[in-house]
Structure 1
Amino acid sequence: MNIRIAIVDDNSFLIKAVEEKLSFFEDLEVRFTAMNGRAVMEKLEENNAIDLILMDIEMPVKNGIEATYEVKQKYPQIKIIMLTVFDNDENIFNAIKAGADGYLLKEINVGDLHSGIIETSNGGAAMNPSIALKTLKLLRNPYIEEKENIKLTNREIDVLEQLSKGLSYNAVAENLILSIGTIRKHIENIYR
């Protein structure tokens, strides 16, 4: 069963680049692309048989965070990975609050992109090292107002620390003597 993907980005060159990366994998199928958040909503009205959206953040008309929120309200079954050049803290936080299932940076290599998509489709969450690192920094930042609402267990912080070093889920599982399933669960909880 192929994973049906939509790519949303205001840069047609980048859309082509991502399409090319995905074309290496027989289990992924790009169903449509859109240039902004409003366009993706219109295309989903016509056909919402999509499993996963790769969503840019900075776009005209309607940005990726607004679009993510709308897609999740209307089509909660569709997974969304933010695929962006921006890994600033506010974007990460807003994307996750809007309901994003994963957050990857555009310079990601093709293998990691594929495994991030598979991971997210299977109910996990894609998280790259710099995002894990920023999440740790956010937790340790005494100035964050939302701090009191953010409670991570020691285990979840251990997982974040491992991920921030760029380790794979398998390596994290081995280091912490946990199963891959448990690591996935922890990452989901961290996003939540």
Structure 2
Amino acid sequence: MAARILLYDDNEALRWSMESLIADHEDLDLLAAMPDAQNLAADLLVFNPDVVLMDIDMPGINGVEAVRLIRQTNENLPVIMLTVFDDNENIFNAICAGASGYILKRYASEEIPAAIRNVMSGGAPMTGSVARKVLQMVPVAKSEEQENYNLSKRETELLQLLVNGFSYKMIGFELNISIDTVRSHIKKIYDKLHVHSATEAVSLAIKKRII
């Protein structure tokens, strides 16, 4: 059964783009794309979504306020913030309000489908650069020893780019390698780190001081 998705964003071009993107995935179903969250409570009752994609900067009720409203009645509905903002204040406010994930719009075409599946499985998907900022707010114990994951020089280099928020295409351009080669390296990194997503890889890399 396809995951039922509700989108809120005041940018019409972005709504059309997301509709086209999600339509390409049989396991995802965009129920509706709303320009604002004015009728949020009624929308949730009518559509009963599995996941909500929420823009932060909207007229009337903004995305952070909308997440707070959702959490008043539903603590478990996954809400992924879809935004251009990667500053600490917006990230902090969204997470404190109860957001389940935080994806930057410039990476939406590459990250949103996987982010939806991730959050449906209980994950907290975040664009790499956002995950780094979140994790930097949490102090790392000085006594924690660095574990050897046997990453090659190229794999370590690629992992650093992931932590810096690079997309697969950007990594390929930076390292002058094909997207398929990037994917091959990423798979090997995931296997060595025992993770299943870029967010998990970035989180582990920072927590364990791998890079």
User: Is the structural similarity TM-score above 0.5?
Assistant: yes
Distance in 2, matches of 1:151 and 1:37, equals 36
Relative to 1, partners in 2 of residues 1:135 and 1:77: Cα closer, same or farther, differing over 3 Å? closer
Q: How does 1:35-74 map onto structure 2 within 5 Å?
A: 35-47=35-47, 49-74=48-73
Report sequence identity in percent: 34
Distance in 2, matches of 1:116 and 1:84, equals 14
**Could you list the runs of 5+ residues in structure 2 that have no partner in the other structure?**
146-158, 169-182, 207-211
Q: Is the 8 A contact 1:10 1:36 kept in 2?
A: yes
Residue 75 of structure 1 and its aligned partner are, at CA, apart by 1.9
Distance in 2, matches of 1:66 and 1:116, equals 22
Q: How does 1:3-152 map onto structure 2 within 5 Å?
A: 3-47=3-47, 49-136=48-135, 138-139=136-137, 150-151=138-139
Q: How does 1:160-171 map onto structure 2 within 5 Å?
A: 164-165=163-164, 166=166
**Could you list the runs of 5+ residues in structure 1 that have no partner in the other structure?**
140-149
Residue 161 of structure 1 and its aligned partner are, at CA, apart by 7.1
SS of the counterpart of 2:134? Answer: helix
Q: Is the 8 A contact 1:41 1:67 kept in 2?
A: no
Distance in 2, matches of 1:85 and 1:8, equals 14
Q: Is the 8 A contact 1:54 1:82 kept in 2?
A: yes
Residue 163 of structure 1 and its aligned partner are, at CA, apart by 5.1
Q: Is the 8 A contact 1:133 1:161 kept in 2?
A: no
Q: Is the 8 A contact 1:102 1:125 kept in 2?
A: yes
Distance in 1, matches of 2:30 and 2:14, equals 14
TM-score (norm 2): 0.68
SS of the counterpart of 2:39? Answer: helix
Task: Provide the aligned C-alpha RMSD in A.
Answer: 3.1
Relative to 1, partners in 2 of residues 1:31 and 1:152: Cα closer, same or farther, differing over 3 Å? farther
Q: Is the 8 A contact 2:15 2:33 kept in 1?
A: yes
Distance in 2, matches of 1:99 and 1:66, equals 10
Q: Which moved more, 1:34-43 or 1:6-15?
A: 34-43
Q: Which moved more, 1:27-36 or 1:103-112?
A: 103-112
Relative to 1, partners in 2 of residues 1:172 and 1:152: Cα closer, same or farther, differing over 3 Å? farther
Residue 89 of structure 1 and its aligned partner are, at CA, apart by 0.9
* Larger CA Rg, structure 1 vs 2: 2
